[in-house]
Amino acid sequence: MRILADLIPLAVVLVICRRWRSFPRITHRLAHLTRTVLALALFIDAGVILSYILTGILPLPRWDGALAAADHALGLNWLDMYQWLTRHPAIDASARALYNSLGPEMLILLFALELLGHHNQARAFLLWFMVSGIATIGIGILIPAAGAFVYHHLPVASTTGYVAQWADLRNGTLRTINPLNNQGLVIFPSFHTVLAVLCACAARPLRILRYPSLALNLLIILSTPAMGGTISSISSPALFWRL
Q: What is the pLDDT of residues 199-243, one digit of tens each?
A: 999 999 998 889 999 999 999 998 888 888 776 655 554 444 443
Please tell me the predicted confidence (pLDDT) of residue 226: 84
Domain coordinates in residue numbering, the chain: 2-241
Give the span between the Cα atoms of 159 and 241, in whole angstroms.
Answer: 25
Give the span between the Cα atoms of 116 and 110, in whole angstroms.
Answer: 10
Please tell me the predicted confidence (pLDDT) of residue 217: 94
Torsional class of 115: left (φ above 0), alpha (ψ -120 to 50), beta (otherwise): alpha
Taking the CA atoms of 33, 39, 41 and 43 in sequence, report the sign of the dihedral they define: negative
CB 191 within 8 A of CB 136: yes
**pLDDT mean across residues, the chain:** 81
CB 122 within 8 A of CB 114: yes
Give the span between the Cα atoms of 179 and 46, in whole angstroms.
Answer: 10
| All residues at 6 or more sequence positions from 132 whose CB lies less than 8 Å from its CB, including other chains | 191, 194, 195, 198
Closest CA to 129 of 197, 180, 189: 197
Q: State pTM to two decimals.
A: 0.81
Segments of the chain with pLDDT less than 50: 1-5, 7, 237-243
Residue 138, Cα to own-chain centre: how many angstroms? 15
| All residues at 6 or more sequence positions from 201 whose CB lies less than 8 Å from its CB, including other chains | 125
3-state class of 123 per DSSP? helix
Q: What is the dihedral of CA 220, 224, 228, 231, to 10 degrees?
A: 170
Please tell me the predicted confidence (pLDDT) of residue 198: 94
